[in-house]
Amino acid sequence: MKKYKQYIQPALFILCGIVILALFFIYLGIIPLNGLNPWSPDKISKQAEIYSVSGGNVDPVFMGQLIIDPAEPKIGERQNFSIWAKDSIAIKTVTLLIQDKTGANKEIELKLKEGSKKEGRWEGNWKVERLSSETQYTASFKAINQDGKTTELTTFFNISGDSIQGLFRIKRAYAYDACTFSDMGSTNISSSCIIPSGSTMGTNEGDLTISSPIEMQSNSILGAEGGDINVGSTVTMRQNATLIFNQGQSINFTNSSAYIIKQETTTVIRKDHLAFYQLTVSKSGSGTVTSNPTGIDCGATCSKYYIAGTSVTLTASASTGYTFTGWSGACSGTGTCTVSMTAARSVTANFTENCDCTSGDCCSDGCHYDTTSHACSTWTETDYSCPWGTSCGADVGRRTRTDTKYCSGSNASCTGSTSYGSWSSYSVFDNCASTETCADNDSSCNYTASCDCECSSGACCSDGCHYDTTSHACSTWTETDYSCPWGTSCGADVGRRTRTDTKYCSGSNASCTGSTSYGSWSSYSVFDNCASTETCADNDSSCNNNICGCVNYCGDGNCRCGETSSSCSADCGSPVIHYRNDCEGTCNSVCAGYGKSCVGIRSYFGWDGYYWSIGCSSIFVSSNTSTQCAKNMICRSPFTCCPASGTCGQADTTFCKCQ
């Protein structure tokens, strides 16, 4: 024992020091009262309270369980907090601010204990103490995300005697969206919301109706400029909150459950003017402008009334193909635009289009490539040719067309497709003299030696250059005449004679168009020997059968074969009957051969009927009828009149009557 006595005393001193240090750490809260194991929600005491928190659509938002352990601690004890929070981005910090109405405060930073910064449970604790002689306190949980957006969950409690009284009155806390108001006209707040700390909200015209609970957070202002404030639910006013209604208007409570909770003596309800000023946003180019607080979304909404003193931040976003180049008016620069609504403000957001080009044949608007349908160049083509031939004196012709070049659609140069126009009709460009000729692709007439000739060929261009004179015979031919030089009696022969005629040049062209010289007729020679039953007719090279040798039929009233004026004068008299199958033209020729005139043509049909045609106007004659045919008509069949050239019936025999 004596051996270790020298070590006992120092060890006792060290142990005492550790105990004293531990007590000091417990006092500071570094070591919890419930032992070395840290507090956690699964080890809460019987004195704890658990509340259900339902946030609004704010981001970040408090939600789920809020645990306070213990709920009513004594002064000097540790009080633990556990609360859930989430955010679509990430929560940066969660703090709890304990504050009395004098402004004395204590801020506790909560730590993330479970989950992630997007959705997790945060814990913290404080040593309950009086911050001043005041007994009324507010407790505000505040979550701030990575973008600096904030959500607050505020409640209150009392410190009476040596402990907290009344718990944290979470049922009066709000974690909703900020209230929204129309620029003009009456507004009805129909769902719970908050008037955020330091903000000013209200309606510019008409009544403000509050039909759901709202909380006016510290230093906030709520007002109605042009109408009454109709309170139909709970309005909780925090420190330095102000409720304003206009001179001549009033605050009306619309039901028995409606009341205003003034939690601080610094809150104010007063009659005053709540001024509004209009913020107007204009745009140059294509893009959108939005505001914080909300109201401007230009886009469609490019102006809004804001309560005087409101600080509005505008953000510009360029459309595809454009670049935001800066603000003008109440703002400048290319960042966000912040205006203080102490007066009406106008701001212009300038967006510049991202251009493909600035100049060029295919950059007509100074920014975009023209499309393939844009004509960037036109020109005229000229063609010289010989549309009227290449003979001497034929003129030179000219035609034109207009061609067009189009843009390619992908650059500013004129490099696209080409469209060729239609050629115009030829017009005379150069009148050629008789000694000149035209040549393709030559705009001028050209002298041609061969064009000095009057001709190059023809019956009257025997030398291939000059017209032959009028003494030059260019054509000869023989005429033949068939006639009856020995009479037309039965058996008289057909005679023929010839002569040679000559045609001469005119001296003025190459064709055979001059005078004609007729030769002398030769003597007649027999061309056809006629039989005793045949006769000769002028202009007929053959002997013709006629009535010679026929049987007499005297006394029947008709002059027929063999009858003569001496033997049958009663029938024939002086007419001469000649067989001829023809009408008036030939009958005249036949009768002329006898020195007589044609007085009729008769056709015999092999029965009792026949007709006489006088000048080819026919009279049909039969034993008991007669029919008169019109001029230029002939009776071709019994009782039928037909055109002289018609074929509606043929006579058996035709006779020509000469008188």
C-alpha to C-alpha distance for 491 and 526, rounded to whole angstroms: 12
Residues 6+ apart with CB under 8 A from 75: 128, 129, 130, 159, 162, 163
CA distances from 86 to 56, 151, 484, 616, 639 (A): 12, 11, 143, 128, 126
C-alpha to C-alpha distance for 375 and 419, rounded to whole angstroms: 10
CA distances from 257 to 113, 213, 236, 404, 659 (A): 41, 11, 13, 84, 150
Structure token pair of residue 497: 């004679």
The answer to whether 86 and 58 are in contact (CB under 8 A) is no
Considering 17-21, 85-89, 395-399, the range whose residues carry the highest mean pLDDT is: 395-399
Q: How confident is the model at residue 270 (pLDDT cuts 50, 70, 90)?
A: confident
CA distances from 145 to 58, 125, 179, 486 (A): 11, 22, 20, 148
The answer to whether 94 and 142 are in contact (CB under 8 A) is yes
The answer to whether 227 and 200 are in contact (CB under 8 A) is no
Q: Give me the pLDDT at residue 260, please.
A: 78
Q: Give me the pLDDT at residue 123, please.
A: 92
Residues 6+ apart with CB under 8 A from 15: none
Q: With 60 as the cut, is the pLDDT of residue 100 above it?
A: yes
pLDDT in tens, 525-574: 999 998 877 888 888 888 886 655 443 444 444 444 444 444 444 444 44
For residue 277, count CB atoms less than 10 angstroms from its CB and return exposed for 0-12, middle for 13-18, buried for 19 or more. buried
C-alpha to C-alpha distance for 122 and 67, rounded to whole angstroms: 11
Strand partners, 269: 243
pLDDT in tens, 404-436: 999 999 999 999 999 999 999 999 999 999 889
pLDDT in tens, 235-255: 888 888 888 887 778 888 787
| DSSP codes joined into one string, 312-336 | EEEEEEEPTTEEEEEEEES--SSS-
Q: How confident is the model at residue 225 (pLDDT cuts 50, 70, 90)?
A: confident
C-alpha to C-alpha distance for 346 and 327, rounded to whole angstroms: 11
Taking every pair of C-alpha atoms in the chain, what is the biggest distance, in angstroms? 218
Structure token pair of residue 484: 């009856």
C-alpha to C-alpha distance for 124 and 147, rounded to whole angstroms: 23
CA-wise closest residue to 56 among 252, 219, 230, 194:
194
For residue 227, count CB atoms less than 10 angstroms from its CB and return exposed for 0-12, middle for 13-18, buried for 19 or more. buried
The answer to whether 611 and 619 are in contact (CB under 8 A) is yes
Q: How confident is the model at residue 386 (pLDDT cuts 50, 70, 90)?
A: very high
SS3 540: coil
pLDDT in tens, 113-167: 999 998 999 999 988 888 877 777 777 788 888 888 877 776 667 777 776 654 4
Residues 6+ apart with CB under 8 A from 162: 74, 75
The answer to whether 271 and 279 are in contact (CB under 8 A) is no
What does the pLDDT average to over 64-69?
80
Q: With 50 as the cut, is the pLDDT of residue 649 above it?
A: no
| DSSP codes joined into one string, 630-650 | PTTEEEEETTEEEETT--S--
Q: Give me the pLDDT at residue 109, please.
A: 93
Which amino acid, one-letter code, is at 540?
Answer: D
Assign a CATH topology to domain 276-353: Immunoglobulin-like (2.60.40)
CA-wise closest residue to 291 among 316, 322, 262, 257:
316
C-alpha to C-alpha distance for 620 and 21, rounded to whole angstroms: 169
Q: What angle do CA 304, 308, 313 make, to 5 degrees?
A: 55
pTM: predicted TM-score of the whole model, two decimal places: 0.36
Instruction: Specify the CATH number for 47-172; select among 1.20.120.160, 2.40.50.140, 2.60.40.10, 3.10.180.10.
Output: 2.60.40.10
Q: What angle do CA 395, 398, 400 make, to 5 degrees?
A: 170
Q: Give me the pLDDT at residue 473, please.
A: 92
| Domain-wise residue ranges, the chain | 47-172, 187-271, 276-353, 375-446, 465-545, 580-658
